[in-house]
């Protein structure tokens, strides 16, 4: 299932509901591809993350690896980002 910006423009309670639904889909073995700019909400529920920068895949890996990657922090997240 492809979800394009599922967390955009909605309140925190709705974000929690959507996250719960996505986790239920994962438990059922349904693949979910999420594109979203809400990094924290997205990284909390994914197994693998990709960062696309300047039209190319800059990074692929686990959320923990993504947050620790120096290039991702420098070009996308910012040095002060934390989960």
The answer to whether the CB of 42 falls within 8 A of the CB of 48 is no
Are 70 and 83 within one domain?
A: yes
- The pLDDT assigned to 71 comes to 92
- Domain extent at residue 80: 47-83
Max intra-chain CA distance, the chain? 36
Helices (H) and strands (E) in the chain, counts: 4, 4
Could you report the per-residue pLDDT of 8-54, keeping only the tens digit for each? 999 999 999 999 999 999 999 999 999 998 899 999 999 999 999 89
Are 5 and 37 within one domain?
A: yes
Are 21 and 60 within one domain?
A: no
Are 4 and 41 within one domain?
A: yes
Handedness of CA 60, 32, 11, 5 (dihedral sign): positive
> Taking phi first (over 0 means left), then psi (-120 to 50 degrees means alpha), and beta for anything else, what does residue 34 get?
beta
């Amino acid at each position: 299932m492809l979800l394009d910006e599922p967390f955009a423009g909605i309140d925190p309670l709705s974000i929690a509901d959507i996250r719960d639904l996505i986790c239920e889909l994962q438990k059922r073995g349904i693949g979910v591809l999420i594109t979203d700019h809400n990094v924290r909400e997205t990284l909390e529920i994914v197994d693998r993350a990709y960062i696309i920068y300047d039209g190319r895949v800059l990074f692929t890996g686990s959320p923990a690896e993504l947050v620790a990657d120096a290039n991702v922090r420098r070009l996308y997240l910012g040095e002060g980002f934390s989960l």
